[in-house]
Amino acid sequence: MNDEERPAASSVVALAFGRYIVEPFFSPCPAPEVLVKMVSIIGISVVMAVNCWSVNWATRLNILLTTIKMAALVLIIVPGMIKLASGHTENFHKAFDTSSLTVGKLPLAFYAGLYAYAGWFFFFFFFFRNIPLSIILSMVTVTIAYLLTNISYYTVMTSQDVLESNAVAVTFADRALQGFSSVIPILVAVSCFGSLTGGCFTTPRMLFSGAREGQWPVLFSMIHIRNQTPLPVMLLMYPTVVFMILAGELFGLLNFYSFSRWLFMGLNTIGLIVHRYRNPDLPRPFKVHLFVPAVFTGVCFFIVGMSLYSDPRNTGIGFSLTLTGVPIYFLLVHKQRLPLRFIRAYHTLTKKLQILLEVVPQEVQTY
């Protein structure tokens, strides 16, 4: 997983948060983009500050916001199911009309759909003791919740209404929950804020683990002496997310982020296949038939390759930034081949930043 993917994912969620905070004040007119971006930056700043200050605060906040997120989904699902049960099925007539479908649009549709259902990927982190059960439970939970949510949306709105809306939940609330409509956008914004909190909690620790393995500068494997948070990685991630919020827009960042994500997903499953062939007798907690990762890899490379044609600007930028990992790999993993002067300067800079940030290597080995 490359280093620009996670900041891009956080910037997408931050922009959605800013949109749902601002949009109700300007409805039915579009909200000013500058204001949306500023609110998005405030949101990510608060989340980063909490994660830098205290692990316990970040964990408790994440649990609270996850509960609110489920409440928001219920408030969207229940009115939609009631209208559907009362016979409002007209929006589902010719629901799968493919007359406007083109191969060029297909990979970008995959990106948007796979991003919407990516909650299983993070849910999986919390059930690592039983991998098959965690995969099944997370995928079923996210699929059922989001499928019912989309059915509710399309019960109340037509597909054209969904496409034209900058904040779908706001439009849904205006039509399905009159007199209670202001609550839904707030809950959705809180849900986005919760996703930001979870992403900013897990992502720095992934980079933190990579630094412990020697794949990043050693400074990023250190924690704050009092707060015991991975402060250097947080400070690396924050300006990157802010820059992406200022420079990009939601769907462009989504394509940029998805390209690198699914490229590396495909490379990971290729690695699985190669490992199985080279080490067929190694003990494994569970196994699947190689047909499954082979099909998954093929789909990954298909949508990644076609997206270069469909959105060459954003996916091309993602591809270019991915290639920057090659020189960085040799600079960090094979730095012993570099001139001695460079190595000394590297260690001096690390010590000075360590003193400035008040960070130290982890004392207790947990890996």
- What SS3 string covers the chain? CCCCHHHHHHHHHHHHHHHHHHHHHHCCCCCCHHHHHHHHHHHHHHHHHHHHHCHHHHHHHHHHHHHHHHHHHHHHHHHHHHHHHCCCCHHHCCCCCCCCCCCCCHHHHHHHHHHHCCHHHHHHHHHCCCHHHHHHHHHHHHHHHHHHHHHHHHHHCCHHHHHHCCCHHHHHHHHHCCCCCCHHHHHHHHHHHHHHHHHHHHHHHHHHHHHHCCCCCHHHHEEECCCCCCHHHHHHHHHHHHHHHHHCCHHHHHHHHHHHHHHHHHHHHHHHHHHHHHCCCCCCCCCCCCHHHHHHHHHHHHHHHHHHHHCHHHHHHHHHHHHCHHHHHHHHCCHHHCCHHHHHHHHHHHHHHHHHHCEEECCCCCC
What pLDDT shows up at residue 42?
92
Name the residue with higher pLDDT: 225 or 102.
Answer: 225
Q: What is the mean pLDDT of residues 247-274?
A: 82
Q: What is the mean pLDDT of residues 310-320?
A: 78
Q: How confident is the model at residue 38 (pLDDT cuts 50, 70, 90)?
A: very high
> Rounded to an integer, what distance in angstroms lies between the CA atom of residue 66 and that of residue 63?
5
Name the residue with higher pLDDT: 149 or 98.
Answer: 149
Is the pTM value of this prediction over 0.75? no
Q: What is the mean pLDDT of residues 35-45?
A: 91
At 359, give phi and psi (nearest 5°): -120, 150
The amino acid sitting at 190 is V
Q: What is the mean pLDDT of residues 264-275?
A: 88
Please, which contacts does 101-109 make with residues 24 or more away whose CB atoms are closer than 8 Å?
Answer: 103/306, 104/306, 104/309, 104/310, 105/310, 106/303, 106/306, 106/310, 107/302, 107/303, 107/304, 107/306, 107/307, 107/310, 108/255, 108/307, 108/310, 108/311
- Within 13 Å and on the Cβ side, how many CA atoms surround 5? 18
> Rounded to an integer, what distance in angstroms lies between the CA atom of residue 178 and that of residue 55?
40
> Rounded to an integer, what distance in angstroms lies between the CA atom of residue 159 and that of residue 309?
26
Cβ-count burial 195-205 (b if 16+ within 10 Å, e if not): bbbbbbbebbb
Q: How confident is the model at residue 115 (pLDDT cuts 50, 70, 90)?
A: confident
Name the residue with higher pLDDT: 99 or 139.
Answer: 139
What pLDDT shows up at residue 367?
46
Radius of gyration of the chain (CA): 22
Which residues contact residue 192 at a Cβ distance below 8 angstroms, ignoring those fewer than 6 apart?
A: 13, 14, 16, 17, 20, 43
Tokens encoding 101:
């479908």
At 361, give phi and psi (nearest 5°): -65, 155
Closest to 14 in 3D by CA, of 45, 51, 50: 45
> Rounded to an integer, what distance in angstroms lies between the CA atom of residue 287 and that of residue 132?
9
> Rounded to an integer, what distance in angstroms lies between the CA atom of residue 299 and that of residue 302?
5
The amino acid sitting at 204 is P
Q: What would the pLDDT profile of 59-74 be if each residue is shown by its tens digit?
A: 777 778 777 877 888 8
> Rounded to an integer, what distance in angstroms lies between the CA atom of residue 236 and that of residue 177?
42
| Cβ contact 269:122 at 8 Å | no
Q: State the average pLDDT for the chain.
A: 79
